[in-house]
Amino acid sequence: MDPQRPERGPEEGPREPWEAGTFEHSDLRRALAEAATAPEPREVPALLCRACVKHLDITGASVSLSGGHGLRALWWSSDAVAGQLAEAQYTLGDGPCQSALNLVAPVLANDLDQGPDAERWPVFAQRAVELGVRAVFSLPLGSEALAIGTLDLYRSTPGPLSGRDMSFAFPVGDAITLALLRLQTDESSDGRGARDYESSWLGAAEQEHSEVYYATGMLMVQLQVGAEYALSRLRAYAFAEGRTVTEVARDVIERRVTFDE
C-alpha cells in the first residue's frame, strides 16, 4: 500500500483509483490553489508532484528540464527511485521522457516488463524493472511546438493511467509549465538571444547536475567536438561502466577519467 494514501476502513469497502465517482475536482483545485500561493515559483513543481503522488494511482513523480542538445537535469523527485529513473533516462538518452520531449506529446508506457513498451526501450525498460518500476507516464511541459521538460509519473505495478488520473495529471502539467515560464520570464528579461534563452532552463535545475555540463564542455575542448557528440561519449562511457552520467562527469572534472579522440 502506498504510505501516502489514507487507508480505508472495512466499512467503506475497496476503492479502485479508476472507479467512477471517486475523483473529486476539489482535490485538484486545492492542489492548484496551494501551488498558486507558493511564495517562490521554484516550489511549485514539488507541491504539484506531491499532489500527484497523493491523489493519483502512481508510486512517485519527478520533473526534469531540457536545455536542448540532449542536455537534461532533474528539478525535483518524490523519492529515490523517481530520481534514479530520471537519471537512467538521462544517462541512456532514451526512455519515455526522451520520447515525450521529441514528440512534444504524452508517452504512456503501461508495462515495461513485457510487450511493446519493453521492446520500444529495451535497455531502459530493463533498468526500470530492476528499480521496481513497471509503468511510466511522461507528460511534456511547454507548448504544442516546444517541450521544455517533462512531468514523469511512475508506478510499481503495470497498467494504464486511467482517464480519471489523466484529468488530474494534465492540468498539473500545465500548472508546472506556467510556473517555469514565470521563472524563465525573470531570467530572460535581460534580452539574451535564443540560445541563451534555451540554455537558461538548465540554470534553474538542481545545482548538483551542473557537473554534467562542465564535463561536457571539457570534452568539447579536449576532443574538439560539438556538445551533442561530447555528451554522447560521456553517456556511452557511463553505460559501459555501469555508472550514471553524473558520476562519470565528476571523474572527468577531477581528471580521474580522460577521453581519447
Around Cβ 243, how many Cβ atoms within 10 Å? 13
Average pLDDT on 97-121 reads 94
The structural architecture, per CATH, of the domain 25-187 is 2-Layer Sandwich (3.30)
**pLDDT tens digits along 62-75:** 998 876 555 567 77
Residues 177, 161, 32: CA angle, nearest 5 degrees = 35
Report the pLDDT value the prediction gives residue 184, as an integer from 0 to 100: 64
Question: What is the model's pLDDT at position 246?
Answer: 80
Per DSSP, the three-state class of 150 is strand
pLDDT exceeds 80 at position 194: no
- pLDDT higher than 90, residue 28: no
Q: Are strands 135-142 and 147-155 parallel, antiparallel or unpaired?
A: antiparallel
Helix H or strand E encompassing 62: strand 60-68
pLDDT at residue 211 tops 90:
no
Strand order of the sheet with strand 60-68? 71-77, 60-68, 147-155, 135-142, 107-109
According to the model, what pLDDT value does residue 35 have?
74
Would you say residue 58 has pLDDT above 60? yes
At residue 24, the pLDDT reads 56
Strands 60-68 and 147-155: antiparallel
- Please list, in sequence order, all residues whose beta carbon lies within 8 angstroms of the beta carbon of residue 103, skipping any fewer than 6 positions away: 140
Q: Which is nearest to 91 in space by CA: 61, 131, 55?
A: 131
Domain ranges of the chain: 25-187, 206-253
Chain CA centroid to CA 54, Å: 18
Amino acid present at 56: L
CA–CA distance, 101 with 149 (Å, rounded to integer) = 7
Residue 160's contacts (CB-CB under 8 Å, 6 or more residues apart) are 108, 110, 135
Q: Which fold has domain 206-253?
A: Arc Repressor Mutant, subunit A (1.10.10)
CA 217 to chain centre: 23
Note the pLDDT of residue 111.
97
Q: Do the domains at 25-187 and 206-253 have one common CATH topology? A: no
